[in-house]
Amino acid sequence: MADYRKMWEELGMDVELHDQLCAVLPQAFGDVFLSQENRPDSMDYYNMVVADIHGIRPAELIEHQKKGGKVFGTFCVYVPDEIVFAADAIATGLCGGSQFWVPGGEKVLPANTCPLIKASVGARLDRTCPFFRIADMFIGETTCDGKKKAWEILSKDVPLHVMDLPQMKRAKDIKAWAEEIETFKNVVEEFTGNKVTAEKLAESIKLINNKRKALERLYNLRKNENLPISGCDVLLISQIAFYDDPARFTQMTNKLCDELDQRVKDGVSVVPAGTKRIMLTGTPLAIPNWKLHNIVETSGAAIVCEEMCTGTRYFENLVDESKTTLEDQYMALAERYMKINCACFTPNEGRIDDILRLAKEYKVDGIIDVNLKFCNLYDTEGYFVEKALKESGIPVLGIETDYTDSDAGQLRTRISAFIEMLDNK
Ligand code: BJ8
């Protein structure tokens, strides 16, 4: 990692505590990613981004701020980045995926809060993540109860706007979300001093749609029998998508896909023929949470799809680009975002349909239903997920985990037994 100490100090970070994180990340990254064989050459870009994760992109964001631009930090795939970019601002994902930040969150939150929320709050309050220092405004949403209450705590420390997400999908809810998007636009305009015009919004809708298309192209390549890229690498790319510059990310991901297209033509696979194909479904895997992918892919199976917010929920469905007035664009955005099927909605049958559809499209042999500890929403919905999969004859393993490594051995045992059962089917 290059020396960014001065930048971190100027951000008011606890640099000594942060050093402890910097000391372990390269090792973890090397163990999970660099040890893989036959990786595509184009992964070099993503390796570089992660190697300097707290340096390169933060420095770009600070440059943007020096020119008078604003940075908005987000925590959920329902928050429309399009509005932010249309105001010449930058949106960056902020979800915490490391145990390193959890104790900081536990200072103010109940211990039985999900690790994603604890890590996100801890990263801000302990001042150990540059992204959480740089963001001028945080954007929360009314998804789960834990997040709603966490916003109240974070808002004492940083400007924070909460978007009121409906929890049903009737016509009036979609209309309400379109109105909420308009309110968000007003907040962003006021905060940045920049006007969001229909032309600007049309441009940013294209920008983000192009990112979605690149990710979809990448995912489609995983549908091949010969798997051109590992699940670990795709997870990393999905995680980077949340904070990299969208135009550059799109370009680099399309470049990677060109290489993968060639691999498919040449019949190159990163796993031996007959390797069992696993799909993950459930709660998001925020960076640097690589635990499950690493366990599955070092236990003899391959992950070919993630029905997660760090996965298909992030990129499926495009925003209609044909609208030319702001009113129509808010509605087009609302319609696209309300197609995401998060467990905070009731009912949420669309997610079950998605899982069954994806299982077919990616020709999966088995599914692991992943729940982050204390996420009541996904845990409860797991009942329907597992029931539907059993009825469809798709083997499923339900697991609950957190960000610690304390359950890694036990998870490896259970996942290995699951893969062995698939191998013997
Ligand atoms: S759209 S999954 S990003 S809310 S895991 S914090 S739900 S207790 S992250 Fe999420 Fe948006 Fe839904 Fe996706 Fe709460 Fe559950 Fe924790 Fe969660």
Q: Tell me the per-residue pLDDT of 228-270, one tens digit each, with 9 for 90 and over.
A: 999 999 999 999 999 999 999 999 999 999 999 999 999 999 9
DSSP-derived letter for residue 390 is H
Write down the pLDDT at residue 176. Answer: 98
143 lines ligand 1 (CB under 6 A): yes
Distance of CA 58 to the CA centre of its chain: 18
Could you give the 3-state DSSP secondary structure of residue 306?
strand
**In the Cβ-directed half-sphere of 380, how many Cα atoms lie within 13 Å?**
11
| 74 Rama sector, left if φ>0, alpha if ψ -120 to 50, beta otherwise | beta
286 lines ligand 1 (CB under 6 A): no
372 lines ligand 1 (CB under 6 A): yes
Query: For atom 11 of ligand 1, which residue has the closest CA?
Result: 76
> Among the atoms of ligand 1, which is closest to the Cα of residue 343?
12
C-alpha 114 to ligand 1 mean position (Å): 9
79 lines ligand 1 (CB under 6 A): no
Write down the pLDDT at residue 196. Answer: 98
Residue type, 325: T
Instruction: Give per-residue pLDDT as tens, 162-208.
Output: 999 999 999 999 999 999 999 999 999 999 999 999 999 999 999 99
382 lines ligand 1 (CB under 6 A): no
Position 347 pLDDT exceeds 80: yes
For 373-376, the CB contacts below 8 A with 24+ separation are: 373/114, 373/115, 373/400, 373/401, 373/402, 374/112, 374/113, 374/114, 374/115, 374/146, 375/114, 375/116, 375/144, 375/283, 376/144, 376/145
- Is pTM beyond 0.75? Reply is yes
Mean pLDDT of 117-133: 98
Write down the pLDDT at residue 3. Answer: 80
pLDDT band at 213, cuts 50/70/90? Answer: very high
78 lines ligand 1 (CB under 6 A): yes
Nearest of 93, 145, 149, 83 to residue 123 by alpha carbon: 93
- Express as a percent the part of the chain with pLDDT over 90: 99
Residue type, 60: E
Nearest of 193, 204, 104, 143 to residue 348 by alpha carbon: 143
- Express as a percent the part of the chain with pLDDT over 70: 100
163 lines ligand 1 (CB under 6 A): no
284 lines ligand 1 (CB under 6 A): yes
Instruction: Give per-residue pLDDT as tens, 264-283.
Output: 999 999 999 999 999 999 99
Write down the pLDDT at residue 425. Answer: 83
Contact 159, 72 (CB under 8 A): no
Query: For atom 8 of ligand 1, which residue has the closest CA?
Result: 375
> Among the atoms of ligand 1, which is closest to the Cα of residue 145?
14
Query: For atom 13 of ligand 1, which residue has the closest CA?
Result: 309
Give how far Cα 212 sits from Cα of 7, 216, 289, 314, Å: 32, 6, 22, 8
Position 1 pLDDT exceeds 60: no
Mean pLDDT of 54-58: 96
pLDDT band at 111, cuts 50/70/90? Answer: very high
Could you give the 3-state DSSP secondary structure of residue 195?
coil
